[in-house]
Every structure is written in structure tokens, then in C-alpha cells.
Amino acid sequence: MTHVSMPADLRHVAERAKGFMPSNEGQALFETAYTYGSLGPICEIGTYCGKSAIYLGAAARQVGSVVFTVDHHRGSEEIQPGWAHHDPTLMDPRFGKMDSLPFFRAAIAKAGLEEEVIAVVGRSETVARYWNTRLAMLFIDGGHSEGPVTSDYEGWAPHVMVGGALVFHDIYPDPADGGQAPLRVFERALASGDFKEVAAEGSLRVLQRVGFSA
């Protein structure tokens, strides 16, 4: 991995945006995007309010890449009403549904990254079905139950180019620390033989498609 500091102004915006990405993991995400972004576009599955997209977009700007971030913006299971991570300020009273899209747009505008970060609004599995562009980096951080993580991996991992990166968030070897679905899919990716682990920071895991050394 390339060790490079994220610009202080963008790091400041990222750290204050709504989201669940610790700053050390955000820096690692930035470094990963910086390392692989020059090979092609970056794709994030699970936008929420744009926190991680700022880390990705900051790197994309420096290496001349772009970030596509895919989300239906109605919230994953764990942030719905009655769940531990629910944020009532994201509820749209007109429809009785979550809507994180306005918060994402405000965060990206505040960061000045509207040219580098492109929102794709829709269900991950639907977008994946019609996606045809090779990816230099794929970051899976959408729904964290078994179905969504599996679907994101199966739908998007085949698009990662040889030498590109597949990145998972919320990998917890100890069940006491968090859900196990992302860990199981991460282990499946390793067992496939298509990827090798090249970096880890907190709950972030970076895999590289076999055949290239970054």
C-alpha cells in the first residue's frame, strides 16, 4: 500500500460527516484508493451519507480516477426504525422511509468532490446486473446481513480487474464485536483463490485480485 496523508481539509470534512467509518480506517481506505485508483474507476457499495465516499473521492482526485457509489438511499436493515443504528433525522415524513441522499449530496458538495464522486441511486443487485466496466477497486459496505453481503460480492466482485482491490468493511473475527456475515463472505473471497489479503486496518480488509503486485 502507498502511505500518503489525506489532505487535511478533506479529512476534516470526512470526520464530521454522518457515518460509521473510524478515522484510522478512513485513512486506510484513502490509501487503498490512492494505490489502486490510477488503474481505473472505483466503486463503493453502500453510500449512506457519504462519509467513506469523501475518503475515496479525495484519493480519486489525486490519482485522476472517479468513484461510483451505489445505494438506494432507503437505508439498510440495521438502520431502520427500532434498530440500534437508526438515525431519526434521516426519516422522510412524506413517505415514512429513510432517505440519506440529501445528506450525501450535502457532504460531497461541502467536500468539493462533486466531479470525483458520482451517485448511482438504485439497488445494488439491479445495478450490478447491467454493469460492464472493469473496476480498479471495489468497496463493499452495504447491508451487513447474509443476503445483502453475499449479493454484493456475487454481483460486483467479478468486475474487479486483475491487480485490482476488493475491500470489505466491518470484518469482526470475534462475534462479540459485530455481525459475522461480512466475515463469512470475506473468507469466501479468500477461499476462492481469486484474491489474496494485502492489508488490514481495524475492521477494514483489503484483498487484491491475483496476478498483479501493486
Alpha-carbon dihedral 105, 41, 167, 23, rounded to 10 degrees: -40
Higher-confidence residue of 88 and 134: namely 134
Q: Does residue 2 carry a pLDDT above 80?
A: no
Domains of the chain and any CATH numbers: 8-209 (3.40.50.150)
pTM above threshold 0.85: yes
Please confirm, yes or no, whether 144 is among the known catalytic residues.
yes
Q: Please state, in angstroms and rounded to a whole number, the distance separating the CA atoms of residues 85 and 41.
A: 30
Give the pLDDT of residue 188. 97
Please pick, among 72, 144, 159, 169, the residue that the annotation labels catalytic.
Answer: 144
Encode pLDDT of 98-151 as tens digits: 899 999 999 999 999 999 999 999 999 999 999 999 999 999 998 878 999 999
What span, in angstroms and rounded, lies between the C-alpha atoms of 57 and 34? 10
* Residues near 94 by beta carbon (within 8 Å), at least 6 away in sequence: none
Is residue 83 within 8 Å of 57, Cβ to Cβ? no
Q: What is the pLDDT of residues 44-87, one digit of tens each?
A: 999 999 999 999 999 999 999 999 999 988 867 666 676 566 77
Give DSSP secondary structure letters for 196-209.
EEEEEETTEEEEEE
